[in-house]
């Protein structure tokens, strides 16, 4: 006998109307969708090794396909990773919008039927509001562009280590002296003070003056995805508990009555709420990826390093690995972090960065 709110009634009906083949088809589609999402996320993180693999694949394809295909692939990679454009910003907002539309249209309503606490359900919207504010700030803020006006002032902010950042070096593109910890961004075509990386998701460089906004944006994005995952999982668990589905039986393909087990329950949760399960899987994977990257970004902030310095320092370490041949007459110079001054001082430098002050010249 069916009882309870409409959500529970619908779910109980589906226990008797679906087949295992439908589940396998939907589950296969679900796995493919998640794999494509993970691959897309990996590609757009602008990992140099992934780009090298992609270019190598393009060259390999040129052996069996016309040269125009190779040029087309290379042009596409160049447009994606070496040209500043808002494509990934639009994709970011589109994915975020789709997640919140699904959460609002289905999860929020079902949770209200099951009498979830309203502040608990509204927390993702609060996190979304804060996230959009810092997303906008990260996109629009000046990351620390080096110009003729501030060049001489920025030269004295950080010490030169004469290994990774030698003195008296100039940027051949901008024709400017390069302050320590700066780098020329090929995408934005400018030199950036305390350059961290170029983020395609915000279509901007991450540097000395917007790293604080980026960290808060990353934190709130991870928190919003994790909160939606927790609310969605809590809804599914509450639904199973309230409907007493473990006490039900179902008719198998041989016509025998079987007790509902965990595998059967997961199968029918998938069939009853496919979009919600898609949402749950996506935000769980997104939360894990963002949490991992956030931990890495916080580690860099706590030790006063940038992604650029960490990557170049790691590469320098690999070059001096014993198995790598190097000239015996040349004494290896290992990069050391000379900019870390303690945990709190490092965080203060991130969230209260030094900005050049200009003195007005008296006529």
Burial 210-242 (b: 16+ CB within 10 A, else e): bbbbbbbbbbbbbbbbbbbbbbbeebbeebbee
Catalytic residue among 111, 185, 191, 199: 199
In DSSP notation, 272-288 reads: H-HHHHHHHHHHHHHHH
Residue 28 to residue 49: CA distance in whole angstroms = 30
Backbone angles phi, psi at 238, to 5 degrees: -65, -40
The pair of three-digit structure tokens given for residue 129, joined into one six-digit string:
């509001």
Helix (H, G, I), strand (E, B) or coil at 42: helix
Q: Can you list the positions of beta strands (E) in 143-268?
A: 170-171, 176-177, 183-185, 190-192, 197-199, 204-206, 249-251, 257-259
Instruction: Decide if 199 is catalytic.
Output: yes
Active-site residue list: 199
């Amino acid at each position: 006998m069916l009882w309870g709110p409409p959500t529970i009634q619908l779910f109980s009906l589906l226990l008797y109307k679906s087949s295992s083949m439908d589940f396998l088809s939907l589950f296969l589609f679900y796995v493919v969708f998640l794999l494509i999402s993970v691959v897309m996320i990996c590609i757009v993180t602008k990992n140099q090794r992934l780009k090298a693999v992609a270019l190598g694949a393009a060259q390999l394809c040129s052996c069996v396909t016309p040269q125009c295909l190779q040029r087309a692939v290379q042009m596409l990679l160049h447009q994606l990773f070496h040209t500043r454009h808002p494509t990934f910003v639009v994709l970011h907002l589109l994915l975020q919008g789709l997640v919140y539309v699904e959460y609002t249209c289905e999860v929020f309503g079902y949770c209200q039927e099951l009498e979830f606490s309203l502040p608990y359900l509204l927390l993702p919207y609060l996190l979304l509001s804060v996230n959009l504010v810092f997303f906008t700030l990260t996109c629009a803020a000046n990351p620390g562009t080096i110009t003729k006006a501030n060049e001489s002032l920025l030269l004295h902010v950080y010490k030169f280590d004469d290994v990774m950042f030698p003195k008296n070096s100039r940027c051949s593109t901008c024709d400017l002296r390069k302050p320590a910890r700066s780098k020329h961004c090929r995408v934005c075509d400018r030199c950036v003070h305390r350059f961290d990386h170029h983020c395609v998701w915000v279509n901007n460089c991450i540097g000395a003056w917007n790293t604080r906004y980026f960290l808060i944006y990353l934190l709130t994005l991870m928190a919003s995805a994790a909160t939606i995952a927790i609310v969605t999982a809590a809804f599914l668990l509450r639904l199973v508990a309230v409907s007493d589905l473990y006490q039900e039986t179902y008719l198998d393909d041989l016509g025998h009555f079987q007790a509902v087990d965990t595998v059967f329950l997961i199968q029918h949760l998938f069939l009853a709420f496919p979009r919600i399960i898609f949402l749950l899987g996506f935000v769980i994977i997104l939360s894990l990826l963002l949490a991992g990257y956030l931990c890495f970004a916080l580690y860099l902030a706590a030790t006063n390093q940038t992604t650029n310095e960490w990557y170049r320092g790691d590469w320098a370490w690999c070059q001096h690995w014993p198995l790598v041949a190097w000239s015996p007459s040349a004494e290896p110079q290992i990069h050391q972090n000379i900019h870390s001054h303690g945990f709190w001082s490092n965080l203060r430098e991130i969230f209260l960065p030094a900005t050049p002050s200009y003195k007005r010249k008296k006529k």
